[in-house]
Each structure stands twice: as structure tokens, then as C-alpha cells.
């Protein structure tokens, strides 16, 4: 019983450390965005996502297929998230039901 309690305390301490680390990372992103004149949402988007894909929309859309992914964290671009929202069942990417998926990560 004593080992279980110790294990539980270690797990809780680890979880708290992880959430503090994530909060610290987000705060740093906000600070760097403010110093560069960008909004925090713009700073959170990786630079690779700003590269334009010059292929026609039909060719880009054909690269995606419904494969069971349902969350924004599983997407790699706004275009991919939009495809999944429009074409795949049971997606959880549009919390406010405005038709724009992943507003905090990709399409914001």
C-alpha cells in the first residue's frame, strides 16, 4: 500500500511539472510574438505552414483521405483540417460550429 501511495505522489508531481512546462512554453511564445510584433496565434504556427502550395485545389485535396484522425493535434495544416471537417465523420475540430476547424492551431 505504501508503494502505491509513493507511486501516486510521483505521478502527480510529474504531471504538475509537465503542465507547468507547457504553460512556460506558451508564455515564452507569447512574449516572443509580442517582441516581434506578431499575435500569439501567429507565433504558434510553425514557419513551414506559411509556405504556399502552388498546386490546384483539387490536386491538394486529393492528397488527403479519411483515416480516423479527428482532432486538430493530428493535423498538419489548415487545408488538411478543413478537408477532414468537410469530408470525414465524427471530427472534433470545430468547437464553435462556425465551419472553421482548428482556429487556435491552424486556421486562426
> pLDDT of 47-62, one tens digit each?
444 445 555 555 555 7
- In whole angstroms, what is the distance from residue 47 CA to residue 3 CA? 46
State pTM to two decimals: 0.45
Q: What is the mean pLDDT of residues 15-34?
A: 68
Q: What is the pLDDT of residues 60-101, one digit of tens each?
A: 557 889 999 999 999 999 999 999 999 999 999 998 999 999
Q: What is the mean pLDDT of residues 17-44?
A: 60
Cβ within 8 Å of residue 74, ≥6 positions away: none
Residue 61 contacts residue 74 (beta carbons within 8 Å): no
**Domain spans in the chain, listed from the N-terminal domain onward:** 1-44, 46-108
Amino acid at each position: 500500500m505504501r508503494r502505491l501511495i509513493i507511486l501516486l505522489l510521483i505521478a502527480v508531481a510529474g504531471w504538475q511539472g509537465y503542465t507547468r512546462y507547457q504553460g512556460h512554453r506558451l508564455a515564452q511564445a507569447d512574449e516572443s510574438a509580442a517582441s516581434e510584433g506578431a499575435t500569439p496565434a501567429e507565433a504558434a504556427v510553425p514557419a513551414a505552414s506559411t509556405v504556399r502550395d502552388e498546386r490546384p485545389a483539387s490536386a491538394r485535396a486529393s492528397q488527403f483521405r479519411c483515416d480516423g484522425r479527428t482532432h486538430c493535434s493530428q493535423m498538419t495544416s489548415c487545408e488538411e483540417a478543413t478537408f477532414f471537417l468537410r469530408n470525414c465523420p465524427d471530427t472534433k475540430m470545430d468547437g464553435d460550429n462556425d465551419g472553421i476547424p482548428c482556429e487556435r492551431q491552424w486556421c486562426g
